[in-house]
Amino acid sequence: MKKLVFSLLIFGLLFNCKNAQESNGKLNIVTTTTMITDLVSNVGGDKINIQGLMGSGVDPHLYKASEGDVSKLANADIIFYGGLHLEGKLVEVFEKMGHQNIKTIAVSDALDESTLISSESFAGNYDPHIWFNIDYWIQITEYVARNLSKENPENKSFFQANSKTYIEKLQVLKEKLRATIETLPQDKRILVTAHDAFNYFGIAFDFEVVGLQGLSTATEAGVQDVQKLAAFIIDKQVKAIFVESSVPKRTIEALQAAVISKKHDVAIGGTLYSDALGNAGTLEGTYIGMFEYNVKTIVNALK
């Protein structure tokens, strides 16, 4: 019954939707995660109106659209979302928007699927945490600029210039992070977190990455998962494990307790930003600032 009511609400809002593009001529853009909002803002600048659905600390795997969200989506010219089932509970909403000729763009479509990490649990699915590969984020920046230019050709040169500037910053970021990580011995590059959000990071920067939960936080970790990972931490003499800002810390605290009960000391090395950026207006509230913070936190805790 709730599903029927929600579907009727969506169609009602779409039916009543007037001209989505405001009289100022700017594109109305709606984005899902904070990472995508930050990227599109960097490319679109003051030539777009942008609204992000999710804020700091919000888990996109579990996010459900509110009535206000549906209204925002229904009035958009373009919706940018992650794809690869990242926003699993919004798929039905996006499909309905597409049927009403509202352009919905999965930023993951910019990438070659053959280069993505396959899911061991779900055949044909891929790890959606693509923002932790900076090279992917560069490709996605170019993809966003192309799509904004297609919808708003009079500002094409503006979008392309912003894209170029942002990509240069991302390239600098990559080298800066690599230099920081080089200060950490190879045998200490083991990253244990709440869920499998950092596998692309691990490949890019040569870390062994282990998540207590799977790719989606919708999958709960069981007692056997905790005990198995505790044994791994002791065997590898891992010094610190990490909480994630968008995942309840109780899972990592349970893991720490399991390790300590076996007479091995492991610290909680800090909180990492995984599925969402930090608070708006802070350095960690940007993609670049988030990545710098994460790497410093990881390296300092594992040294």
Q: What's the pLDDT tens digit per position in 245-265?
A: 988 899 899 999 999 999 999
How, if at all, do strands 48-52 and 27-31 pair?
A: parallel
DSSP H helical segments within 67-121, as ranges? 67-74, 91-99
pLDDT tens-digit map of 139-191: 999 999 999 999 999 999 999 999 999 999 999 999 999 999 999 999 999 99
**Per-residue pLDDT at 196:** 86
Angle at which helices 156-181 and 34-44 cross, to 10°: 130
292 burial via Cβ count (<10 Å: 0-12, 13-18, 19+): middle
Residue 178 burial (CB count, 10 A): 14
**Per-residue pLDDT at 282:** 97
Residue 294 burial (CB count, 10 A): 22
Please state, in angstroms and rounded to a whole number, the distance separating the CA atoms of residues 40 and 227. Answer: 42
pLDDT tens-digit map of 70-122: 999 999 999 999 999 999 899 889 888 888 889 999 999 999 999 999 977 66
Tokens coding 117: 């990490």
Chain CA centroid to CA 249, Å: 18
Task: Name the percent of the chain lying above pLDDT 70.
Answer: 88
Please state, in angstroms and rounded to a whole number, the distance separating the CA atoms of residues 145 and 51. Answer: 17
Q: What is the pTM of this model?
A: 0.89
Residues 6+ apart with CB under 8 A from 152: 27, 47, 48, 159
**Per-residue pLDDT at 121:** 64
**Per-residue pLDDT at 219:** 52
pLDDT-derived band at 224 (thresholds 50, 70, 90) equals: confident
Task: Name the percent of the chain lying above pLDDT 90.
Answer: 77
**Per-residue pLDDT at 247:** 85
pLDDT-derived band at 220 (thresholds 50, 70, 90) equals: low
Give the mean pLDDT of the chain: 90
Q: Rounded to the nearest 5°, which phi and psi values hold at 128? A: -85, 0
Q: Which domains does the chain have, with CATH numbers?
A: 2-176 (3.40.50.1980), 180-302 (3.40.50.1980)
pLDDT tens-digit map of 7-39: 434 444 444 444 444 437 899 999 999 999 999
At 85, the amino acid letter reads H
pLDDT tens-digit map of 36-81: 999 999 999 999 999 999 999 999 999 999 999 999 999 999 999 9
> Sign (positive/negative) of CA torsion 234, 237, 240, 241?
negative
